[in-house]
Amino acid sequence: MYTDPPLNSNSTLQTLLKFPKHPLPLYKKTKSNNLFFLLSTIQELALSQETLEDSRNKGLVTALYDALNSRHVDAIQKILAPDLEWWFHGPPSHQFLMRLLTGEKETTNFRFVPHSISAFGPTVLAEGFDQSRSIAWVHAWTVTDGVITQVREYLNTSLTVTRFGKTDQSDCSIASLHCPSIWESSLPDRVGKSVPGLVLAI
């Protein structure tokens, strides 16, 4: 039978520990608890690894823009694969990145200053806008083993990025024709005219 602790106790904490009003149930270790703990730990480690990969890839692309704008050729060569795959959508006269990377003589001093950079695993999306030329641009970089191996460049194009496969929101399949977007360009409306829209699936 339980009785209240004595009122003249010297230490309230010791008294409460000696005379708990509602004893807590003992935690029983079971196989299912161990399995749940193990799965939770694995999931946390996977998320940490994913976040770390995103951060590294984003840092690599940020370093590339710094090197491009300072025209630091050695740094650019270390960041880009020698057989970089390049894909372009936009007016042919706006191939500023190709001219910069191939060393072609520039008639304009175009600078790529990203307004935002977002990473989704090996895909890093950067978006910027050149106010003086009314040019909105998006680059979708692919990072493989710490080196950029592919770039998809979109100028004056509205881009929506979606992910095939399992996402947090739902399963996405070609049959369902519904894949939730994970990123959308926000700067094309600054161009002041209608621009084409494309979807990139990663």
Question: What pLDDT does residue 43 have?
Answer: 67
> pLDDT tens across 50-87, in order?
788 999 999 999 999 999 999 899 999 999 999 999 99
DSSP H helices in 71-174: 73-79, 96-102
The whole-number pLDDT of residue 70 equals 92
Looking at residue 149, its pLDDT comes to 98
Q: Is residue 2 pLDDT above 60, yes or no?
A: no
pLDDT at position 27, please?
46
Domain ranges (residues) in the chain = 31-201
Other C-beta atoms lying within 10 Å of the C-beta of residue 45: 10
15 vs 188, residue with greater confidence? 188
Range with the lowest mean pLDDT among 25-29, 40-44, 145-149?
A: 25-29
The 10s digit of each residue's pLDDT in 158-180 is 999 998 765 454 555 554 456 78
Render pLDDT for 103-133 as a digit per residue (tens, 0 to 9). Answer: 887 667 889 999 999 999 999 999 999 988 8
Tokens of 157: 């194009």
Overall pTM surpassing 0.85 (yes/no): no
Closest C-alpha to 80, from 156, 139, 128, 120: 139
Count the helices and strands in the chain (H runs, E runs).
Answer: 4, 10
Classify domain 31-201 at the CATH class level. alpha beta
Give the phi and the psi of residue 21 in degrees, each rounded to 5.
Answer: -70, -40
Asked if residue 137 has pLDDT above 60, the reply is yes
Helix, strand or coil, per DSSP, at residue 193: coil
Identify the pLDDT of residue 9. 45
Cα-based angle 37, 40, 41 (whole degrees, multiple of 5): 85
